[in-house]
Amino acid sequence: MCGRMTMTHPNDAMAQLFEAAPANDLPEPPTYNLCPTQSVGVVVSDGARSYRAMRWGFLPHWYKAPNGGPLLINARAETIAEKPAFKAAVRARRCLIPATGFYEWTKDADDTRLPWYFSRPDGGPLVFAGIWQNWGTDDPIPTCAIVTTGASDWMAETHHREPVVVTQADWATWLGESGDKGAPLMRAAPEGTYQRWRVDRAVNSNRAAGPELIEPI
Predicted pLDDT of residue 30? 98
Q: Which residues pair with 96 in a beta bridge?
A: 43, 129
Domains of the chain (ranges, CATH numbers): 5-214 (3.90.1680.10)
Q: Given this model, what pLDDT does residue 178 score?
A: 85
Paired sense of beta strands 5-7 and 195-198, if any = unpaired
Give the CA distances from residue 92 to residues 48, 49, 134, 181, in Å, rounded to whole numbers and listed in that order. Answer: 15, 15, 13, 11
pLDDT of residue 181: 82
Q: Are strands 21-22 and 39-45 parallel, antiparallel or unpaired?
A: unpaired
Q: At 192, which amino acid appears?
A: G
Report, as ranges of residue numbers, the positions in the chain whose pLDDT lies below 70: 1
pLDDT tens digits, residue range 85-109?
999 999 999 999 999 999 999 999 9
pTM of the model: 0.96
CA angle 55, 60, 77 (to 5 degrees): 85
- pLDDT, position 11: 98
Query: How far, in Å, are 37, 131, 134, 159, 163 from residue 76 at the CA level?
Result: 19, 11, 20, 14, 9
pLDDT for residue 1: 60
Q: How far apart are CA 33 and CA 53, in angstroms?
A: 17
The reported pLDDT for the residue numbered 182 is 87
